[in-house]
């Protein structure tokens, strides 16, 4: 896809991969609309010259706020990037199911709500794209993050089915699978992390090339292992 002149809606664009992604898309000539829920970060991204819609996508009302804010706008690209993890490890403490519900909505339900709401607009454009950001953990889970892994695996399955539905249409579907990236969400999780800017760069390259998947960093190796032996991939990642 030629990104110059396109309008992209990127969720979770006030921090981490999303913040790098909106900058790189703008540098390619795209008009960017983004979303965030942290007031301080929203203010900072606005100060950098971006249009930001304040909405909490971990709730149905927040998803409606964003959908209503872009109603009638021309959107060529939807990037479902917003996501979060949640503590859910019975070895450490009793998990909070309410917190799990919010994470499930943010990571899985909100992208589906946005896709359903924006599909008529996307289908009306000369060319359009949906980018769903999942994770290497969508391929094989780790024991310490079952809710996060389940939501990303769910979004991966949804993305694959959606791509089949839209085959031959004007709407291209890209799944972006990042490795462990240097963000606030991964703080304290080892030192071998990809810089967010490099991860975003590889996402943008995949968007421009029309790839079906962007397997970034170590996810490429995980995909190879999984293709040979899914059981081996699970054994490796469950302890990650």
pLDDT of residue 191: 59
pTM of the full structure: 0.94
pLDDT of residue 231: 96
Q: What's the Cα-to-Cα distance from 116 to each of 77, 109, 123, 130, rounded to whole Å?
A: 14, 11, 11, 11
CA distance 46 to 208: 26
pLDDT of residue 226: 96
What CATH number labels 7-237?
3.40.50.720
| CB proximity list for 166: less than 8 A, separation 6 or greater | 172, 173
Phi, psi angles (nearest 5°) of residue 217: 60, -130
Residue 46: CA count within 13 A, CB half-sphere: 12
Q: What string of pLDDT tens digits covers the 240 residues of the chain? A: 999 999 999 999 999 999 999 999 999 999 999 999 999 999 999 999 999 999 999 999 999 999 999 999 999 999 999 999 999 999 999 999 999 999 999 999 999 999 999 999 999 999 999 999 999 999 999 999 999 999 999 999 999 999 999 999 999 999 999 999 987 665 555 557 899 999 999 999 999 999 999 999 999 999 999 999 999 999 999 987
Give the three-state DSSP class for 52. strand
For the packed helices 146-165 and 110-124, what is the interaxial angle rounded to 10 degrees?
A: 20
- By the 10 Å C-beta count (0-12 exposed, 13-18 middle, 19+ buried), 122 is classed as buried
Domain boundaries, the chain: 7-237
């Amino acid at each position: 896809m030629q990104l110059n002149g396109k309008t992209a809606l990127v969720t979770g664009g006030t921090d981490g991969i999303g913040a790098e992604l909106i900058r790189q898309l703008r540098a390619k000539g795209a008009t960017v609309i983004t979303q965030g829920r942290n007031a301080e970060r929203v203010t900072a991204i606005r100060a950098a010259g971006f249009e930001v819609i304040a909405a909490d996508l971990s709730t149905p009302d927040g998803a409606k706020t964003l959908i209503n804010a872009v109603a009638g706008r021309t959107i060529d690209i939807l990037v479902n990037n917003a996501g979060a993890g949640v503590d859910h490890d019975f070895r450490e403490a009793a998990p909070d199911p309410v917190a799990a519900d919010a994470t499930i909505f943010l990571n899985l339900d909100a992208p589906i709500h946005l896709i359903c709401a924006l599909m008529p607009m996307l289908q009306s454009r000369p060319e359009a794209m949906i980018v769903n950001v999942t994770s290497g953990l969508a391929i094989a889970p780790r024991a310490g993050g079952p809710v996060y892994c389940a939501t990303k695996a769910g979004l991966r399955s949804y993305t694959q089915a959606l791509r089949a539905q839209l085959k031959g249409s004007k709407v291209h579907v890209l799944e972006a699978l990042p490795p462990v990236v240097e963000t606030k969400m991964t703080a304290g999780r080892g030192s071998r992390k990809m810089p967010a800017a490099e991860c975003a760069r590889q996402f943008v390259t995949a968007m421009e090339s029309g790839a079906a998947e962007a397997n970034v960093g170590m996810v490429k190796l995980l995909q190879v292992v999984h293709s040979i032996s899914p059981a081996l991939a699970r054994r490796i990642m469950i302890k990650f």
